[in-house]
Structure 1
């Protein structure tokens, strides 16, 4: 009796330090029922290792087949500080079951055999991560009394959702967008409406914007292009003396009278007086701006 009592006391003395190295061992998982062949589930195991012990990474299980029914797909370990100077470990393990059950039964995930070490040769081993779940068969139960309420039912047929409203709305939207684009092209004299004779200032504005800034020769050609736009709009060669009658017949351009007269004055001084473009006071930017303003007035008329 004395020997038995001494052995029991010695076992308690040895077990107490071991139990103090690892504490708060917990494992959580999803609902433990309705698991079918091929399902993937995740278990989270946490524990606290008291200082100076730390988890030995070599004791972690390797991914792959654990049993005939369970595969370990992935294993992640995170660490955080715990009260008392210890380390809290959380092991996230992802499993997949490959057991094809013939009837509803309970299966278990085997426990992990883990170890903590103190860096001085000390090692403590413990088990954690076990879990039990109920798996179900994929085929009907075999009964002797015919069909039962537990027989597998056919898959529900997905409803056919008509796309006609969406297609109709898309067609109307596309038609409206195309019509708006055609109206904009007609208003701006974009191709294929750029060749119509009713938009001479619009065509001239595009040409003047390209030629006027290219130097003295380009500036002179831009003057001629804008003159041709005035001639096409008036239906004859338009001279400076004809501006009063021209503006009276086309009041949409009257608001730009000052710019138009400055243009004709600069043109007369260049082509008939031999003046340099710089001496006329009509810069390339002003000529381009006047052509753009006349094109806008033309579209508004």
Structure 2
């Protein structure tokens, strides 16, 4: 009775029959694990509890499962496939798989570990002999290139200058003629000049503005041609009347230098569009 009690208390026992070797596995290798399960009398293996072929992990697949039962023994074979791409030798753990017996008890098919190795070749150390010799070289004279650069730059400047001249761009553009402005500046420097000399400067500026000799009788035509001077038409008429009286002996003192200087300054502002 004691022996029978000990046998019943022991139950089914799983003993690894043939685990795969621990080293020397590569990417894509199949590992065959065989487990022999000792069964008590009257107890069998539940086939539905056997692990199904599947992907157990991203690097491990259970490819095939086979089970064979004899009197008191179940022999289970599991075929695993390694998909771990190792960069260096790496130890991987295959988990245990539970199975169920007909009496409702659970048993584990033991897991195991193996080392997978990289499939790349061993890298040989580099040596100076593996390097190709330096190619022959020759010194390059930069003189022709510099001369070409200078000639190209000169040609570019010539083309740019010709284009600026043709289009009337700076520095070839002509500034608008401003005879009245020049006269105002000249009169501002003629502090001690005689009235006749000052009047001559202002007359020449008005002639240049009109395009021909301007006399008092054509003042209205000048205003029609240059209407911007209409606000000072009366002052121009006074200037021409005083100038005619002085030059043609009609009496009068003639225009004063200070008054002509002020008139020239006003005319200059109109000419430059400031009034």
| TM-score range normalised by the length of the shorter chain | 0.3 to 0.5
> Normalising by structure 2, what TM-score?
0.40
